[in-house]
Amino acid sequence: MKRQVPKRVIIYTGIYTSIDIAKAGEKYIVTSEMEVEYLSNAAQEQEIDNIVATALSSKGAVGSQGAKNKYEQVKAIYKFICDDFDYVMDDANHSTYSALGRHQTVCQGYATSLYRLCRDSGISSRVIASQTHGWNIVQLGSL
């Protein structure tokens, strides 16, 4: 007896899994495979590094806002993202690179970009994701 779930099941954008379950006598044999498709390449990651460094510099879109505390820093990052990105539903627009490099993205690109800008500013942030949406949580106080 062999039971197989669908060959390729998406569990998050760019991550797929397949599982085979087979009975061999009194035992069950479970085989699991995972395939990861990266949303950016090494050159794009370098470009992201440069864009983030420029945006956060004292002359950049975020750094030039003159934020006095973490709350003002997050507001400046949020403003930069909202002013700079267009929401464009497309399979190619799910990455930090599509947001920061091409200025077109969906919620996942918004969330990963905010995370990256916060992280590089020393602000604790996380991306929260479901099957259909992504968003952030940001720690501003001590809780």
C-alpha 142, offset from chain centre: 25
Residue 18: per-residue pLDDT: 82
Q: What is the mean pLDDT of residues 31-51?
A: 88
Kindly report each contact of residues 80-87 with a partner whose C-beta sits within 8 Å and lies 24 or more positions away, as own/partner.
Answer: 80/55, 80/117, 81/110, 81/113, 81/114, 81/117, 85/109, 85/110, 85/113
Residue 71: per-residue pLDDT: 92
Residue 63: per-residue pLDDT: 83
Q: What's the rounded Cα separation, in Å, for the pair 115 and 108? A: 10
Task: Please determine, for residue 61, whether its predicted confidence score (pLDDT) is greater than 90.
Answer: no
The chain-wide mean pLDDT, for the chain, equals 86
Compute CA distances 101 → 28, 81, 108, whole Å. Answer: 48, 12, 14
Percent of the chain with pLDDT over 90: 52
Residue 1: per-residue pLDDT: 46
- 31 falls in which pLDDT band (50, 70, 90)? confident
List, for residues 97-122, the tens digit of each pLDDT value.
Answer: 999 999 999 999 999 999 999 999 99
Nearest to 14 by CA among 35, 45, 44, 43: 35
Backbone angles phi, psi at 29, to 5 degrees: -110, 120
